[in-house]
Structure 1
Amino acid sequence: MEGTSSLIAPRERLCTLGAEVLPPDLIDDSLPLYTLGYEAITWIERNLLQPNGPQAGQPVRLVPSQAMFLVFFYAVDEHGNWVFNRAVRRLAKGSGKSPFAAMLALFELLGPARVAAFDDDVPGGVVGMPVSMPLVHVAATSQDQTANTMRMIRAMANKRTPLARNYRLDVGKTYVETPDGGRLQQITSSASAAEGSELTFAVADETEHWTGSNGGKDLAETLDQNLGKTGGRLMETCNAWLPGVASVAESTFEGWVQQQEWLNNPSHPDRLTSRRQQILYDARVAPPDVDLADEESLRAALEFVYEGLPWVKIHDIMQRIWSPAYPVSRSRRFYLNQPNAAADAMFTLEEWAALGPKPGDDTFPEITDGDEVVLFFDGSRSRDATALVGCRIFDGHVFTLGVWQPTPEAPVNTGEVSIAVQRAFDRFTVAAFFADVREWESFVKVSWPELYGDDLIVHAKSRGTDPQPIAWDMRSHSSEFSEATEMFLAEVQDGAFTHDGNWDTSRHIGNIRRGEYRGRLYPRKESEASTSKIDAGICAIGARMVRRIVLASPEWEERGRETGWTVGW
């Protein structure tokens, strides 16, 4: 979780004011300057009792990761506005997501969850007050999905608890009410109560299961609209999702990625969308190269994912993972918190991620001006995505130059695409540029060849009745592209190249399904009507293919003899 640099508290102040609610080793100069998080921690630990387990009946004691989440989630700026409008807790199975969601829902219903005043003498510099007539929803696409969280809410607020007596609560199976009109209730995607409510806070439970087919997308949109009326906020809980099924959990992650790209690049085209999102994303994900069969590797990964959670029994989880009846894909999604591809997916995200940049690795290859590269383009105007991907000739490093997604209101902007192509030729030495013809014929057969054709060493079609420097119609090269796909898959599995970690391309790679063309492997979408795009993945396969074509060409061999230049494999 990351704070905002302009809202950072001095370390000395935090060490003095935060010592009672955060372990000293977690207090550093990256914490928010203003936050109600300390009040949230204090209220929860003073008012809620542990409902089950060895500590049943004792006051709740938050673990450090839960406390840190609250400190960041309740951060405000100097005007008292929330820093984050939305949060996600994507944690491995058994991490305590449901009990924590229950605690947060009750705090929003009863506790000092809104800013009353600033006060430098209190932890977080902010004094809280209760929400006026709060309406809290615990939402899911079915009652079964909300069962765990509601069960914990009922256990923490039942009539025998001090909480129920002190706040005079009326607790039912699907609701909790206060004497002054506050209400916490369970809703599902079929509940009419969701529409039009003046919602102050919502828990969206298990959003990896929220899809268009079960009403999850509509429910998410309704919650957003209702929260927008009151300035309320939402917290999602989820396990790792199944890529390609278009779940709300995956969509929210994509929004967070856009936000991070904007934060690191103020000129990013999605900067306005990213600014509105303001998502706090809390996740602990095992490294992509975990070997599930190796005891040391698996134990280290699980200890990282479940760090600081004393109720988790690592030994028991390892036994479950090693059970012959338990699928590897479920083990990775549920216990390692890794989004894992569908059974018919061509690539695993772990394999792909292992080829990308690693945090703190200063030796990872980066693209630089003047590099000799090849390009591959796959375009669509209104249905599929359009993408331009490059591959450096020297070492085979794959990088993304652009991915454009059409909307029902606006097709792909051809001017933006042409500018990206021009910038690529301005920045790099482009040896070959292959572009699919469909829907972009005037560009790939006329305007781009006129502008760039003379600069290319290897042409897409150099012989025959209709030679083309750039146009490479995939419909007439199915067999060749099938071979390129098989080679690309082997290279991914062997770790034979690197890529820049672009999220759009990575997502498209994960969406590719195994198809067959005349007995050979071929990339395909989940279905023709699927909204899960694969076009940038197609371009990555194509860029690697074009590099091989260039390296095997007599034109490249002749150039090597002239310059004495050699390529690294």
Structure 2
Amino acid sequence: MVAATAPSEEDLPPDVIEPVVIGPTWRRGPDGRFVLPEFSLGWHVLSWTAEYLQHSAGTPWRYTPEQARFTLWYYAVSPETNRFLYRDAVFQRLKGHGKDPLAATYAAVEFVGPCRPSGRVAGPNDPSGVPEGQPLGQPHPEPWVMLAAVTQSQTRNTMMVFPGLFSPRAIEEYSIDLGKEVIYAHKGRARIEAVTSSPRALEGSRASWSLINEPHHWLATNGGHEMAAVIERNATKSADGSARTLAITNAYEPGENSVAERTREAWEDAQAGRAVDTGLLYDSLEAPPGAKLTAAWAPKVIEAVRGDATWLDIDRIVASILDVRNPPSRSRRFWYNQIVAAEDAWCAPYEWDACARPDLTLSDGDEVVLFLDCSKSDDATGLVACRMADGHVSTLGVWQRPPQVDVWNVPREDVDGVVDNAFNRFRVLAFFADPGTGEDQVDGSRYWDRFIDAWAERYGARLLVHATTTGTRRHAVEWDMGGDRRRQEEFTHAVERAEVDILERQLTHDGHKIMRTHVRNARRRTNAFGITIGKEHRASPRKIDLAVCMIGARMLRRLVINSSKYGKRPRARGKGRVIVLG
């Protein structure tokens, strides 16, 4: 029995906790029913596994509804091309969900089952049990199923499933020879093999299907990065082009740069439009951002994120969560299936997500402030607005080098157009732009000087607060942090204030995916004035520029509110009408 004090009303969870749903398995349509793929070989997989596989007790294999839906999506096929919709997949769930047995059934299907589209479809009352019109499968002609991990203990969990998984009928019909590290069928023509060897030894293998087991443990230091790269190359050059992978994982430890972390970031980049979608199916069920690790919250959270894994003992898990010997970050990763922050991260992803209010949008005529963080090529350039009325943060634009492009400069004219549009739409009370350090190749001036000067000339008279009001270079817009200790101190205090606002839910934002990534990438850095933010290292490709813009815009809003001119400003009369004093 775990003793706990009675929670206050503020700490009580809602009656129903909705998990964060990533991927199609738990997605519902407007009618409330689960969304299923139009055309899937998964129907044949469901039928075959029920006939040839079994649970340890000897009963015919049955997937949970959650597993069945994921199976249908993983084996979804394009009716036009007769090829799989997804090249690879990640199945991320909390610890104990049953990921290894699920993966073992797919390995069995890829080993001797109907794992490739045959080009035929099921007819009425088809003897295969497949619904009419759905694709029928056929075995791979030369199946080589590879169960890959960086340690033997990882592959052992999956290999131990097979002796009890294949039914006596399957063993006899397919001539299956159950070995400890290699399983053969069809007199050696088909095999399942557990591999933990050097990546070089895997180079050139012709695996028809690969399981990437626990990629949150696959690091550069243990050969995990190179092993993942070799598996991807081998799958790409497969003879029929249909070799695929499945990764099963818990939530990874941020900052380790594991294969799981790299894969999740690649998927998020594709979702945000920063990278091409190459056919990765990512499926995860995670605790909502505001979920607490308390006796009141934990049972409902576990019930929400365990999906159909009803065999998990909720009381036992709650006791583990409340055990002070277990770090909260570990409980969130293992039991809430949440990706927590790296040790030196400025903001945990779930804390940032809890502040998202995509329903709050900027309207024409809103009073806002703008902050622009400029770069020439290496870093991103971002423009963020902060509404004066409520401090809501919105991303107006972000420009960063596209993937696989070596030579690229930020298109200044595009940025200029977005700035003009912002001034046309909103009542901009202040606009700060940090020019960065890049040079213009034509005249040797700073890359952004000409545009920042033009904005000051064009809009300076409208602004209540100017960026630089002392010294030899007074400027309405230019706010250069480089080398200016006073501004570094000002920004450092803004960083600390923004962190408090996020933790206390006093900040809202539009949920922009790239800003989320930049906030996640920001690391805590100490300077002479306190805690500021920076990249993980100077040459890191992980950008933080929109995080800088967000903090800068919130800082600028406070400067305007505290200025003597704010209370004397002209007010707009009528929706969208802007009064500008000449």
Give the TM-score category using the shorter length.
0.7 to 0.9
CA distance in structure 1 between the partners assigned to 2:547 and 2:62 by the alignment: 46
1:385–1:535 contact (8 Å) kept in structure 2: yes
Give the structure with the higher percent helix: 1
SS in 1 for 2:161: helix
Corresponding residue to 2:112 among 95, 110, 113: 110
CA displacement 1:322-370 (0-9 Å, x = unmatched): 1110000011111101100123322222221110137xxxxx3112344
2:374–2:448 contact (8 Å) kept in structure 1: no
SS in 2 for 1:377: strand
CA distance in structure 1 between the partners assigned to 2:469 and 2:116 by the alignment: 68
CA distance in structure 2 between the partners assigned to 1:367 and 1:177 by the alignment: 62
Find out whether 1:85 has 2:87 as its counterpart: yes
2:199–2:226 contact (8 Å) kept in structure 1: no
SS in 2 for 1:296: coil
1:444–1:470 contact (8 Å) kept in structure 2: no
- Sort the Cα spacing of 1:503 and 1:250 in 2 relative to 1 into closer, same or farther, 3 A: farther
What is the match of residue 304 of structure 2? 304
Find out whether 1:544 has 2:558 as its counterpart: no
Letter in 2 for 1:557: G
Matches within 5 A, 1:523-562: 523-560=533-570
CA distance in structure 2 between the partners assigned to 1:134 and 1:534 by the alignment: 45
Letter in 2 for 1:118: V
Matches within 5 A, 1:223-238: 223-229=231-237, 230-238=241-249
SS in 2 for 1:76: coil
Larger deviation, residues 432-441 vs 347-356: 432-441
- Sort the Cα spacing of 1:391 and 1:144 in 2 relative to 1 into closer, same or farther, 3 A: farther
Q: CA deviation at 1:91?
A: 0.4
SS in 2 for 1:338: coil
What is the match of residue 37 of structure 1? 42
- Sort the Cα spacing of 1:152 and 1:339 in 2 relative to 1 into closer, same or farther, 3 A: same
CA displacement 1:443-469 (0-9 Å, x = unmatched): 543223314543240221123210122
Q: CA deviation at 1:31?
A: 1.9
2:93–2:284 contact (8 Å) kept in structure 1: yes
What is the match of residue 60 of structure 2? 59
- Sort the Cα spacing of 1:404 and 1:252 in 2 relative to 1 into closer, same or farther, 3 A: farther
Find out whether 1:391 has 2:386 as its counterpart: yes
Corresponding residue to 1:183 among 182, 187, 191: 191
2:159–2:194 contact (8 Å) kept in structure 1: yes
1:105–1:136 contact (8 Å) kept in structure 2: yes
Letter in 1 for 2:114: P
What is the match of residue 155 of structure 2? 146
What is the match of residue 76 of structure 1? 77
CA distance in structure 1 between the partners assigned to 2:540 and 2:179 by the alignment: 41
CA distance in structure 2 between the partners assigned to 1:246 and 1:181 by the alignment: 38
Larger deviation, residues 413-422 vs 330-339: 413-422
Letter in 2 for 1:413: V
2:372–2:434 contact (8 Å) kept in structure 1: yes
2:376–2:409 contact (8 Å) kept in structure 1: yes
Identity of aligned residues (%): 36
TM-score of the two chains, using structure 2 as the length reference: 0.82
Letter in 2 for 1:304: A
- Sort the Cα spacing of 1:519 and 1:257 in 2 relative to 1 into closer, same or farther, 3 A: closer
SS in 1 for 2:477: coil
What is the match of residue 287 of structure 1? 288
Q: CA deviation at 1:412?
A: 4.2
CA displacement 1:100-143 (0-9 Å, x = unmatched): 11111111111101111123534261111111102222223333
What is the match of residue 401 of structure 1? 396
- Sort the Cα spacing of 1:515 and 1:507 in 2 relative to 1 into closer, same or farther, 3 A: same
CA displacement 1:246-279 (0-9 Å, x = unmatched): 3332333334335445xxxxxx575xx12xx222
Q: CA deviation at 1:176?
A: 2.0
- Sort the Cα spacing of 1:156 and 1:537 in 2 relative to 1 into closer, same or farther, 3 A: same
What is the match of residue 414 of structure 1? 411
What is the match of residue 6 of structure 2? none
CA distance in structure 1 between the partners assigned to 2:49 and 2:230 by the alignment: 29
Larger deviation, residues 205-214 vs 76-85: 205-214
Letter in 2 for 1:50: H
CA distance in structure 2 between the partners assigned to 1:49 and 1:305 by the alignment: 26
What is the match of residue 341 of structure 1? 341
Gaps of 5+ in 2: 1-22, 125-129, 440-445, 576-582
CA displacement 1:49-105 (0-9 Å, x = unmatched): 324xxxx33332211100110111111122212122222111011101111111111
Matches within 5 A, 1:345-356: 345-356=345-356
SS in 1 for 2:147: strand
Matches within 5 A, 1:353-392: 353-357=353-357, 364-392=359-387
Aligned residue-pair number: 525
Gaps of 5+ in 1: 12-24, 262-267, 359-363
1:189–1:216 contact (8 Å) kept in structure 2: no
Q: CA deviation at 1:193?
A: 4.0
CA distance in structure 2 between the partners assigned to 1:244 and 1:380 by the alignment: 25
Q: CA deviation at 1:420?
A: 4.2
Larger deviation, residues 309-318 vs 140-149: 140-149
TM-score of the two chains, using structure 1 as the length reference: 0.84
CA distance in structure 2 between the partners assigned to 1:105 and 1:375 by the alignment: 54
CA distance in structure 2 between the partners assigned to 1:246 and 1:374 by the alignment: 36
CA distance in structure 1 between the partners assigned to 2:384 and 2:220 by the alignment: 30
- Sort the Cα spacing of 1:371 and 1:135 in 2 relative to 1 into closer, same or farther, 3 A: farther
Letter in 1 for 2:532: Y
Find out whether 1:134 has 2:143 as its counterpart: yes
SS in 1 for 2:48: helix
SS in 2 for 1:192: helix
Corresponding residue to 1:516 among 506, 520, 526: 526
2:144–2:208 contact (8 Å) kept in structure 1: yes
CA distance in structure 1 between the partners assigned to 2:149 and 2:34 by the alignment: 37
What is the match of residue 249 of structure 1? 260
Letter in 2 for 1:108: E
What is the match of residue 5 of structure 2? none
Find out whether 1:99 has 2:101 as its counterpart: yes
- Sort the Cα spacing of 1:448 and 1:528 in 2 relative to 1 into closer, same or farther, 3 A: closer
What is the match of residue 494 of structure 1? 504
